[in-house]
Structure 1
């Protein structure tokens, strides 16, 4: 019985070279008339294959060939599409954020939230998309060098060659991403502008010598204020002044080196004078204090002695007023005692006994000093 399920139509038993283009014989060959394929059998075979879920497998022992059965199982094409869609949905809904990163979540292009490190979930793409950026690393921008941006005008109308480095990091990823078109370039522009403003308020000598730290601190604070006004989402960590010298043109460098050398010599002279002052002034102050103490001691002794004499005179006067004769006699005796105490004395009896007193004149001057004649 012919197999009508073949897409090429029924086969004859003697037809061994079946072909959709004819009866299997080459055109012009002998053996019978040419036949065209049976279109109705082709259409019927195709309908049967669709209703059965695919082409039927050929019988192992039967004749008549057929296409192999490519059945996709009980789920069908819709099941496979559902599985693929689920895999894609999960893959676009789960993402991870590293420790040094932050992630922006955008819903149809509008900012929704900022996510920190870890495993995160979102609505599948293209409903929600993410933008991840490293925010915990320190970025470094070097400004200056050999270009014109390194030459700046000081407050005393001199030119100084400045090279400096700005260290910064992202503090607010949403502001960094949405508020400024090119945040990195904005940081460079603000840094150069702030440095020029601070340099314009200072003199050249201080810039190249002692005011370097104050200048970098002022530039950092000014940069932070301007970037906050722009809502750039950037925090300035540090400004490092690499070079602050006079320009290389002409003899300017040599002149400023002479100025620096003169300033150093001035400092050396001042330090030496300060050392001498610290040695001489304390010694002079000590001598002055000693003289003052001696004068005060002499003053106190004179005053005390004078007060004692006055008090003694008052006491003697009081005694004299009560007994004038006795007091005069006592004063006379005390005075004679004071006058004659150190002198050599010869005591003679005032009574007239008729005896001529013997005076040893050779003994009287024995105890006198040789120069006291």
Structure 2
């Protein structure tokens, strides 16, 4: 007899091998751990800073380096180039070495109802991340509009002649003050480092040529003034130095002559004192010294003609002799006549 299996029910497709659900769960958990790990660590570069948002609210800032945060949606990180100096171009756009004019920004009306083309560059950086992210919607566009408005306001109060010649630096400082005032009023979180005009040009055509000639003439005038000032600064100190040197030289000669005169007086007083003690000896010595000085090569004889026989004393020979003989001869010669 053949046995027939009456249980022909189809197998349940959900019947899985034992342990498969556990493996799937472990895989999902590992994937979640990996995703959380990747989303919990972030890196801030050297010229950047990061704002930490906890449940969408600003809570902290971090500087350069590797940092940890709670995964989204608990915490979120917004990285901004807060340490980088950035530029905004007014009146033109520059990408690399390519410069593209933007006439609608550059063309402005002066106080005397003339038109000028003003190009400027604004250097700025982020000073407060919280204000930068929350107080204004588009910070760069706001800065561009504020700079353009400040430039138009200042140039609109100045005359064309002044704007394109001597007033460029003054206008630049006024624009910077107005721009700083706007940034402080709206708390934009942006720091204005500097604003510089690249060029302020007069209208195109004959008027442009005329103003260019005026500008060139003023530049030549300023050049000549600077050269004259340079010449003055070179000559006047030199002349003062020479005058001072002459005064000091005269003062030195004056002191030298006074000292020489005082020495001569002292010498005369000393000789006079000795002369007062023995006028005859001093007189003879002075005569001998004077003759030796004015007649160094002359032959000197002392003679006496009071008697029938002329007596003379050869001084030169005696002076070449010994000191003792010379002294004795000088003593015996007193009262003689020098010829």
Cα distance 1:84–1:268, how it changes in 2: closer, same or farther (>3 A)?
closer
CA distance in 2, matches of 1:101, 1:269: 49
Cα distance 1:193–1:271, how it changes in 2: closer, same or farther (>3 A)?
closer
Q: What is the aligned counterpart of 1:240 among 196, 212, 215?
A: 196
CA distance in 2, matches of 1:115, 1:190: 30
Q: Which residue of 2 aligns with 1:129?
A: 76
Query: What are the superposed Cα offsets for residues 241-279 of structure 1, whole Å, 9 maximum, x if unpaired?
Result: 11112111x421122134335545766898999999x99
Q: Which residue of 2 aligns with 1:253?
A: 208
Q: Show structure 1 runs of 5+ residues with no match.
A: 1-8, 11-35, 55-70, 283-373
Q: Any residues of structure 2 matched to 1:1-373 within 5 Å, and which?
A: 38-39=8-9, 42=11, 54=18, 71-72=19-20, 76-144=23-91, 145-248=101-204, 250-263=205-218
Instruction: Determine which structure has greater relative contact order: mean sequence separation of CA pairs < 8 Å that are 6+ residues apart, divided by chain length.
Output: 2
Secondary structure of the 1:256 match is helix
Q: Which residue of 1 aligns with 2:322?
A: none
Secondary structure of the 1:39 match is coil
TM-score computed with the length of structure 1 as normaliser = 0.51
**How many residues were matched structurally?**
222
CA distance in 1, matches of 2:206, 2:196: 28
Q: Which residue of 1 aligns with 2:253?
A: none
Cα distance 1:263–1:84, how it changes in 2: closer, same or farther (>3 A)?
closer
CA distance in 2, matches of 1:122, 1:228: 32
CA distance in 2, matches of 1:185, 1:84: 42
Larger Rg: 1
Higher normalized helix content (fraction of residues): 2
Cα distance 1:223–1:77, how it changes in 2: closer, same or farther (>3 A)?
same
- How far 1:146 sits from its partner (Å)? 4.9
CA distance in 1, matches of 2:127, 2:73: 28
**CA RMSD across the alignment:** 3.5
CA distance in 1, matches of 2:224, 2:194: 36
- How far 1:85 sits from its partner (Å)? 2.5
CA distance in 2, matches of 1:218, 1:113: 36
TM-score computed with the length of structure 2 as normaliser = 0.56
CA distance in 2, matches of 1:237, 1:268: 31
CA distance in 2, matches of 1:219, 1:177: 25
Cα distance 1:267–1:119, how it changes in 2: closer, same or farther (>3 A)?
closer
Does the aligned pair in 2 maintain the 1:89–1:124 contact within 8 Å? yes
- How far 1:131 sits from its partner (Å)? 1.3
Higher normalized strand content (fraction of residues): 2
Q: Show structure 2 runs of 5+ residues with no match.
A: 92-100, 240-339
Does the aligned pair in 2 maintain the 1:114–1:174 contact within 8 Å? no
Secondary structure of the 2:71 match is coil
- How far 1:159 sits from its partner (Å)? 2.5
CA distance in 1, matches of 2:128, 2:89: 23
- How far 1:180 sits from its partner (Å)? 0.8
CA distance in 2, matches of 1:215, 1:105: 41
